[in-house]
Amino acid sequence: MTSENAASGRDYIFAPAPVPTLPITGTTALFPVHRIYCVGRNFADHAIEMGHDPDKEPPFFFQKNPDTLVPPEDGFPYPSASSDVHHEVELVVALKSGGSDIPLENALDCVYGYAIGLDMTRRDLQAEAKKHGRPWEIAKAFEHSAPCGPIHPASQIGHPREGAIRLAVNGAARQDGDLNQMIWKVPEMISYLSRFFTLAPGDVIFAGTPAGVGAVERGDVMRARIDGLGEIAVTVL
C-alpha cells in the first residue's frame, strides 16, 4: 500500500499519477490541469494549407491528455513511429471556472489566463487517420506533445484579441499570424464547448494554429512568441 485516497480513507493499490500543472507568472502557486481541448482549423490560412475550405468546414474540437503538457525547458523528445512531426504554435486559454451552456457574454468570466503552447503533431499518422476516418489520438495525444509556457493571468494582461503569434525554427520564420485571424474567438470556443462538455476549473483550450506548420528534426530549436505573453523555446531531442 503506497498511498491513501483522502476522500474515502481507503488505500490505492499503487500511487496515483501526479496532477498535471502549469506554472503561473508572478506567483509560486500552480495551475492544476483538468482536461485539454484543442481547436482544429481555427485559422483560415491553416485550414487551406491542410487542404480544407474554411467556408464549408467550420472549426471543431479534439483532445489531448493532460499529462502531455510539459515545460518548454524539458525539450521535446522526437516521438516514436513517425518521420513527419510538425510544430503548431497556439494560444492556450486556461479556465478557472466552467459549467454547461455558458452564454457567450459570460464566457470570458471563466478565463484565468493565457499561455503559449505547441500542439506537436505526428502529421504522417494524422494523414493516415484522416484517410481512413479514424480518430487522431496517435497523431495528437502522445507523451510530451504539448509543450506549454507559464500562464499569464488575465487580471494582469487582459484578454488578448489581437497580436502577433509566431514560430521560428533555428531562427527561420515558419508561422506568422495574428490572433485576430481566429475564426472562433475565445468566448465562442468556451460557449460552444460547454454545449457538449461540462467545463471545469483547470480545463485548458489550445486555440488553433496559423499557417506555416512544418516538420522538425532532432536538434532543432523552436521559438514561439505571442504578443503580450513573451516567448518559449523548445529543443527537439
Instruction: Give contact residues for Mn ion (rule: CB under 5 A).
Output: 88, 119, 209
Q: Which is nearer to Mn ion, 41 or 223 (CB)?
A: 41
- Least separation, in Å, of the C-beta of 209 and Mn ion? 5
Between CA 10 and CA 18, with CA 12 as vertex, the angle to 5 degrees is 120
Helix (H, G, I), strand (E, B) or coil at 191: helix
- Least separation, in Å, of the C-beta of 25 and Mn ion? 23
Q: Which is nearer to Mn ion, 119 or 153 (CB)?
A: 119
- Least separation, in Å, of the C-beta of 36 and Mn ion? 11
Q: Which is nearer to Mn ion, 50 or 233 (CB)?
A: 50
Burial 53-72 (b: 16+ CB within 10 A, else e): ebeeeebebbbbbbbbbbeb
Would you state the cell numbers that stand for residue 36, as one nine-digit string? 485539454
Q: Which is nearer to Mn ion, 107 or 146 (CB)?
A: 146
With CB atoms as reference, the residue minimizing the distance to Mn ion is 119
Spatial strand order of the sheet with 164-169 comes to 172-178, 164-169, 221-226, 230-235
- Least separation, in Å, of the C-beta of 88 and Mn ion? 4
